[in-house]
């Protein structure tokens, strides 16, 4: 009986040692926890820089680029109509526009605008050119309207005629990256020369530097 108790004691001791050894191996196999983050104090006077660095970066609105000098050029095609009394003649035309000026606010720009159109007949009128003081207004971030008043010229045979003229346009900026934009414009100009009226209207594609 004593021999049996001694044998059971040795078995229990060996089992306990084996269990303790296994637990030690499991503990050694587990990865060490990551080190605690180190927080460094922001140097004095750099708090604003640190906040700007940590703040999420957002893209600027298109209107934020509309300030100072601006330029717009456009080219397209449309219709040329000359009406002289009871006679009216139409013709297809190539049209262009050039504007130089500056933004008074992010939505309003004051411009010197040159508008030109080919087309017409020699017996009535050929071509229309208009130099005007104009204003462009951005109703939204991309949609804009414009109008101007100035002096127009046309040619009839070899005679160049001058008279008052107006222009108007409606456009939409289809693409903008920083100060550069591409727009589609519907434009029209009218000039009055004594009893004759010359009208041009068309669609153009333009480039604008904001």
**pLDDT 10s digits, 100-119:** 999 999 999 999 999 999 88
CA distance 101 to 119: 28
Mean pLDDT of the chain: 83
Query: Residue 141 pLDDT > 90, yes or no?
Result: yes
* Residue 41: predicted pLDDT: 62
Q: The domain at 65-209 falls in which architecture?
A: Beta Barrel (2.40)
Supply the pTM of this predicted model.
0.70
Give the mean model confidence (pLDDT) for residues 133-145.
97
* Residue 65: predicted pLDDT: 87
Q: Give the domain ranges of the chain.
A: 1-30, 65-209
- pLDDT tens-digit series, residues 161-170: 999 999 999 9
* Residue 26: predicted pLDDT: 47
Give the mean model confidence (pLDDT) for residues 185-194.
96
Give the mean model confidence (pLDDT) for residues 122-144.
92
- pLDDT tens-digit series, residues 94-105: 999 999 999 999
């Amino acid at each position: 009986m004593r021999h049996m108790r001694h044998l059971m004691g040795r078995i229990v001791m060996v089992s306990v040692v084996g269990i303790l050894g296994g637990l030690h191996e499991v503990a050694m196999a587990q990865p060490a926890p990551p080190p605690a983050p180190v927080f460094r104090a922001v140097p004095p006077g750099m708090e604003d820089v640190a906040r700007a660095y940590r703040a999420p970066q957002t893209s600027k609105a298109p209107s934020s680029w509309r300030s100072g000098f601006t330029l717009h050029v456009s080219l397209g095609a449309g219709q040329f109509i000359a009406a002289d009394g009871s006679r009216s003649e139409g013709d297809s035309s190539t049209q262009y526009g050039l504007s130089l000026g500056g933004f008074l606010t992010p939505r309003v720009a004051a411009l010197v605008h040159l508008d030109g159109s080919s087309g017409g007949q020699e017996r009535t009128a050929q071509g229309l050119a208009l130099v005007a003081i104009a204003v462009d207004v951005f109703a939204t971030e991309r949609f804009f309207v414009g109008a101007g008043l100035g002096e127009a010229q046309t040619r009839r045979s070899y005679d160049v005629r001058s008279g008052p003229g107006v222009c108007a346009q409606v456009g939409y900026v289809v693409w903008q990256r920083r100060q550069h934009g591409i727009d589609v414009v519907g434009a029209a100009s009218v000039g009055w020369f004594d009893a004759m009226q010359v009208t041009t209207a068309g669609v153009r594609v333009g480039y604008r530097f904001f």
